[in-house]
Amino acid sequence: MRRVVVLAILALALPIAAWADGITILNEFGSISITAGGIGSSTISSKQSELVQYNNVVAAKGQSLGYVNYSTGVLLSGSVATGGTFSSTGSSFDVIGVGKWAKSLSGSGTSPVALFTGSFVGPITWTMTGEQGAKVFYSLSGDIQGTLWNGRMVNGTTTQEIYSSKGQLAAGIGHINMGTTQLAVPEPGTLGLLGTGLVGIAGMFRRKLIGR
């Protein structure tokens, strides 16, 4: 009975231990472009929103570490004006480091360097969050997955806060206030622990079966 309890605890604890807190990414400013056409046609894409934080590195005021680019698939439901859902098919989400930050953030001497290259997964939510005078505020959010500069696969979530005016929105123009992205990154050390633990579990089962 004691072995069964130990096995259960290891099976639950090891996968949890294999994940670190992850990487925090913040971006601000920049613009978005909205294609016309409505359901089945409209898409949203950004261009070089400033990267102001990557993990624990924060850009000095008035500077940036690089930029963040993203794009959605086509509008699946609702509308650009009132809120809706976009497809992740054909989407992208990329984080680029430039200048001296390219090397300090990735260890690569090349600039620019792709710190994260990925795309949205599942539906992308476009929500109207409020109005203030002529401004209309929206939130673009969804799950993302992709590859870090070192080849490690990661998953995460992003929320992009955007504003426009009714006239600009009709012309396909929007502006980025701020974006927050969280990536969950497995730690090599704890992944090794996970592997060792699983081997141990297999060994315990084997000894128990042989002993019967």
> Both ends of the chain: CA-CA distance in Å?
15
Do residue 66 and residue 100 come from a single domain? yes
Asked if residue 142 lies in contact with residue 124, where contact means CB atoms within 8 angstroms, the answer is yes
- Alpha-carbon gap, residue 175 to 33, rounded angstroms: 9
Do residue 166 and residue 128 come from a single domain? yes
Residue 166: the pLDDT is 86
- Kindly report whether the peptide bond that precedes residue 112 is cis, defined as omega within 30 degrees of 0: yes
Do residue 40 and residue 117 come from a single domain? yes
Residue 20: the pLDDT is 52
What is the phi/psi pair of residue 192, to 5°?
Answer: -65, -40
DSSP 45-61: EEE-EEEEEETTEEPPT
Residue 47: the pLDDT is 87
Q: Along the chain (212 residues), what's the average pLDDT of each consecutive run of 10 residues?
A: 44 43 93 96 95 95 95 97 97 96 84 96 97 96 97 97 94 97 76 46 48 54
pTM confidence score: 0.78
Residue 93: the pLDDT is 98
- Alpha-carbon gap, residue 142 to 82, rounded angstroms: 18
Asked if residue 75 lies in contact with residue 91, where contact means CB atoms within 8 angstroms, the answer is no
Residue 188: the pLDDT is 58
Q: Which domain holds residue 208?
A: 1-20+187-212
Do residue 128 and residue 208 come from a single domain? no
Do residue 144 and residue 195 come from a single domain? no
- Alpha-carbon gap, residue 26 to 29, rounded angstroms: 11
CA 34 to chain centre: 21
Chain segment 186-197, per-residue pLDDT in tens? 765 444 444 444
